[in-house]
Chains A and B, each alone.
Chain A
Amino acid sequence: MKYDVLVVGAGPAGSMAAKTLAEAGLSVVMLEKRQEIGDPVRCAEAVSKRGLKDLVEVDPRWIAADLKGSRVFSPDGASIVLSEEQSGGKTGYVLERKIFDRTLAMEAACAGAEVMVKTRAQGLLKRDGKICGVSAIRSGDTFQIEAPLVIGADGIESKVGRWAGIDTTLKPKDISTCAQFLVKDESIDSNYCEFYFGNKIAPGAYAWIFPKGEKVANVGLGVLGSRSSGIGEPLRLLQEFMKSHLPKGKVVEMDVGGVPVAPQLEAMTTDGVMLVGDAAHQSDPLTGGGIITGMTAGVIAGEVAADAISRGDVKRASLRDYEDRWKEPNGNKLQRHYDLKEFFIGLTDEDLNNLLHSLTNEDTVKMDLRDMLKSLLKLNPKLLWGLRHVIF
């Protein structure tokens, strides 16, 4: 089997890359080790409307909720309201990812990409020192697929980068480990995403209630790996959160997973290999949102890969355009968000209470993240002095 490009992983990043390549007329194959694309879900499913609309035509079949905004809670329970597009670009729609991911893969297939499910890449093939495809296993049968260019879209558990010599190992301080329930409860507000901060609630991250239609929501929390003080900490803390916030909630699904909240990788490409999405640590370190960033990277990688293949040159220098186009504006913004995350995880609950209280008389509904940070800095100069270079 021979293709121009081989994509490992059929998440949003991989499907967008495969679709872009197929639309450019290249032969492309996308491998997915699971038997069902998009299932089990490892996501709270919130995306910014603007971000999504820039990438795909919105289809009501995979929109679970269309939101008015977000509420942010401090550890002592005080709250502010942010309008829909101002929540760090993360909320607006809540998706049904089991349908969304499968639809994106179908679109890639309809554009001409071959999709192979229950097929796991298990190593890179090399000829004369050059990467020339992968060794794969499907239903117990091992076989080889040749391609001069491999795109690693294999998510948090990525190995493609490491096989190619790019160290993508995450440090515990750069991964948020999460547990989530799908909950039915009469108290759920179907119009607002809710974020709960506090070192006891969700150390180094936050808890969330993201509505998915009538009185149903994804209720979950993350814990920064370096703050996880025991075995199974996210699940234990989620059970506590349920007791305190949704004591009568009926749990009908359980999802878990990790999300990179890491600095930008120095290299996202090497000769014959490109990384996209969580595999390239492209999720937002501040919010943990990685759907839109991964899809965006998938499109850029697909365009650059198509160009490289047409020139017959898949060396790193030829793929560098992907890294450059990613860096500005996306990579640089995410690196700033990493600096913000590093600062905020050092704050005490008292600091967090003071910050949120300082905003209660401000018109937060009209602010975007940058405006909000500027106001916070103006109102709390001593506490946030260390952030002035990131905010301005």
Chain B
Amino acid sequence: MLDANRYKCCYCGAYVSVCPTCSSMELMETWIEVSQGCKDCSVCTKICPVGALEAEV
């Protein structure tokens, strides 16, 4: 499961653009929502400019 670190996040939404499941990620102001639809592909973890997204092991 993907871990979104709210303390690092700068709310840019870039990760949403590479997410292959359109509905599993959403940015709302300062809050990232990762839903059950996340396929753990980790593509977004390399796109986040500040390292706020990490795949949980």
Contacts and interface: CB of A to CB of B under 8 A. Distances in A.
Given A34-B29, A120-B28, A256-B10, A156 B16 contact: yes
B35 interface: no
Contacts of A230: 46, 51
Interface size, A (range): 35 or more
B22 A162 contact: yes
B17 interface: yes
Interface string A228-253: 11111111000000000000000000
A156 to B, nearest CB: 5
Contacts of A232: 8, 48-52
Interface size, B (range): 20 to 34
A337 interface: no
Contact of A228 (B17, B22, B47, B52): B47
A258 interface: yes
A356 B16 CA distance: 36
B22 A225 contact: no
B12 interface: yes
Contacts of A163: 22
Interface in A23-53: 33-35, 40, 42
Interface of A: 33-35, 40, 42, 120, 155-159, 162-163, 168-172, 175, 177-179, 225, 228-235, 254-258, 260
Interface centre among A169, A172, A175 (most CB of B within 10 A): A169
Contacts of B46: 172, 177, 225, 228-231, 233
A260 to B, nearest CB: 7
Interface in B3-57: 8, 10-20, 22, 27-29, 43, 45-54
Contacts of B12: 40, 42, 156, 256-258
A155 B13 contact: yes
B13 A156 contact: yes
29 contacts: A34-B29, A40-B10, A156-B13, A159-B16, A169-B18, A170-B18, A177-B14, A177-B46, A177-B49, A178-B49, A225-B47, A230-B46, A231-B54, A232-B48, A232-B50, A232-B51, A232-B52, A233-B46, A234-B49, A235-B50, A235-B51, A254-B10, A256-B12, A256-B14, A256-B50, A257-B12, A258-B12, A258-B17, A260-B17
A234 B16 CA distance: 17
A360 B56 CA distance: 50
Contacts of B20: 169
A158 B46 CA distance: 19
A27 to B, nearest CB: 27
A258 B49 contact: yes
B49 A256 contact: yes
A61 to B, nearest CB: 26
Contacts of B19: 169
A231 B18 CA distance: 15
A364 B12 CA distance: 36
A235 B47 CA distance: 11
Nearest to B8: A232
A231 B53 CA distance: 8
A233 B50 CA distance: 7
